[in-house]
Homo-oligomer: A and B are copies of this chain.
Amino acid sequence: MCEANVYLIDKEGNEKLLLESVDKLVPSDESIMLENIFSQRKTVKARIKEMALVEHRIVLEEKD
């Protein structure tokens, strides 16, 4: 399976795991909707900072 773990860097610069095994990401103007393979969903006010799919790693950056 090729899902990724999604990490969020908060406004203080700290990185934390936001959601594991994410399959779908749908950005909108203000936020990003994440859904993982267990059908858990999260929506965060953030932008995508970088993605490294082979490492199963996506990093988001919190925004105002």
Residues of A within 8 A of B (CB): 1-4, 22-27, 37, 47-54, 56
Contact = CB atoms under 8 A, between A and B. Distances in A.
A24 B51 contact: yes
A28 to B, nearest CB: 10
User: How many copies, total?
Assistant: 2
B52 A24 contact: yes
Contacts of A51: 24-26
Contact of A24 (B3, B27, B53): B53
Contacts of A26: 49-51
A22 B48 CA distance: 16
Q: Which of A23, A47, A54 lies at the interface centre, i.e. has the most chain B CB atoms within 10 A of its CB?
A: A54
